[in-house]
Amino acid sequence: MVRDRELDNYAIGGAIGAVFYIEPFATQDVDVFVMMDTEASGLVTKIPGWDYLKERGYTRHRGEAIVVEDWPVQFIPVSNPLEVEAYLNAEVLDFEGEPVRVVLAEHLVAIMLRTGRMKDLARAEMFFSQKAIDKNLLLDIVRRHKLDEEWLSFQAQKRI
Amino acid sequence: MSSKLNNGGSVERYRNKEAQREQEAKRPVEEKMEAVVRLRDFERKLEVIRKANRAKRAAKQISIEFKTR
């Protein structure tokens, strides 16, 4: 879609993004962060990529996701400065010869800290136990995006 | 750009996804197993990439160029 200029750019986040850094865990959806304009009300007017895929025969939905080659793909408009930063700094990784933009491990963990569900925190813990994260970079993100409370709570649970 | 953003959006979105997953948990076992096998194959293909990513971090080769705050 980037090649065809349907999207300016994208970055894979969520659980699938995490699999590029740490060992497996159960997940299914491919979360694709995209940048788009919204109306003054905050409503998203049109999600890029959706019509593009429909025109190419991908018409099956599962919840809010569109199914592409058996993978449920959800286009997620970046909705806060942390996600914008994650989107902008995504790194290009090579997957079987194809370049794939994936959110940095440090931003993935910061988003997990913000979301704060038990499974997010368990997943974040795996980044540390598998040495898949630069702690200084994460702490810089935590400080700038005011996630100090979430970070302290994470540490207090002796997760790292 | 910040005026267009909603700080609480991501939390709400993940709540919705969780509700969706609860629905999907009721799918037939065969369908769920297909997803597990597909995911397992995908994860195996990423082993080399994970190793390279760990090495980059050990060597402090990652930086954040664009800061929004």
> Concatenated DSSP letters for A103-116?
--HHHHHHHHHHH-
Report chain B residues whose CB lies below 8 A from the CB of A117: 14, 18
Instruction: Tokens for A126, please give them.
Output: 């795996």
pLDDT digits (tens, 9 = 90+) for A96-123: 899 999 999 999 999 999 999 888 899 8
Residue A41 has pLDDT above 70, yes or no: no
**Residue that is written with structure tokens 């408009």 in the block:** A77
Determine the average pLDDT of the residues in A76-92. 95
Q: Give residue A118's pLDDT.
A: 87
Q: Give residue A44's pLDDT.
A: 61
Residue A40 has pLDDT above 70, yes or no: no
Q: In angstroms, rounded to a whole number, what is the distance separating the alpha carbons of residues B64 and A90? A: 9
pLDDT digits (tens, 9 = 90+) for B21-34: 777 767 777 776 77
Q: Give residue B26's pLDDT.
A: 73
* DSSP-assigned beta bridge partners for residue A101: A92
Q: Give residue A27's pLDDT.
A: 61
User: Which of A8, A9, A21 should be substituted to probe chain B, the one whose Cβ sees the most B Cβ atoms within 10 Å?
Assistant: A21
User: Which of A9, A134, A145 should be substituted to probe chain B, the one whose Cβ sees the most B Cβ atoms within 10 Å?
Assistant: A134
Q: Do residue B5 and residue A29 have CB atoms under 8 angstroms apart?
A: no
pLDDT band at residue A45 under the 50/70/90 scheme: low
Report chain B residues whose CB lies below 8 A from the CB of A120: 14
Nearest CB to A144; choose among B49, B62, B69: B69
Amino acid A138 reads: L
pLDDT band at residue A38 under the 50/70/90 scheme: low
Domains of chain A (ranges plus CATH)? 11-156 (3.30.460)
Q: Work out the mean pLDDT of chain B and round it to a whole number.
A: 79
- Nearest alpha carbon to residue B57 among A57, A152, A131, A89: A131
Determine the average pLDDT of the residues in A79-89. 96
Q: Give residue B4's pLDDT.
A: 40
Instruction: Tokens for A131, please give them.
Output: 């040495």
Q: Give residue A63's pLDDT.
A: 80
Q: In angstroms, rounded to a whole number, what is the distance separating the alpha carbons of residues A30 and A66? A: 10
CA distance A38 to chain B (A): 6
Q: Do residue A85 and residue B9 have CB atoms under 8 angstroms apart?
A: no
Can you state the angle between helices B29-45 and B47-58, rounded to 10 degrees?
50
Q: Give residue B68's pLDDT.
A: 97
pLDDT band at residue B3 under the 50/70/90 scheme: very low
Q: Give residue A15's pLDDT.
A: 74
CA distance B9 to chain A (A): 6
Give the residue on B whose Cα is nearest the Cα of A90.
Answer: B64
Instruction: Tokens for A56, please give them.
Output: 């190419």
Give the residue on A whose Cα is nearest the Cα of B36.
Answer: A26
CA distance B47 to chain A (A): 8
Q: In angstroms, rounded to a whole number, what is the distance separating the alpha carbons of residues A147 and A136? A: 14
Q: In angstroms, rounded to a whole number, what is the distance separating the alpha carbons of residues A84 and A78? A: 6
Q: Do residue A28 and residue B24 have CB atoms under 8 angstroms apart?
A: yes
Q: In angstroms, rounded to a whole number, what is the distance separating the alpha carbons of residues A12 and A140? A: 22
Q: Give residue A56's pLDDT.
A: 94
CA distances (Å), origin A106, targets A39, A86, A111, A135? 30, 9, 9, 8
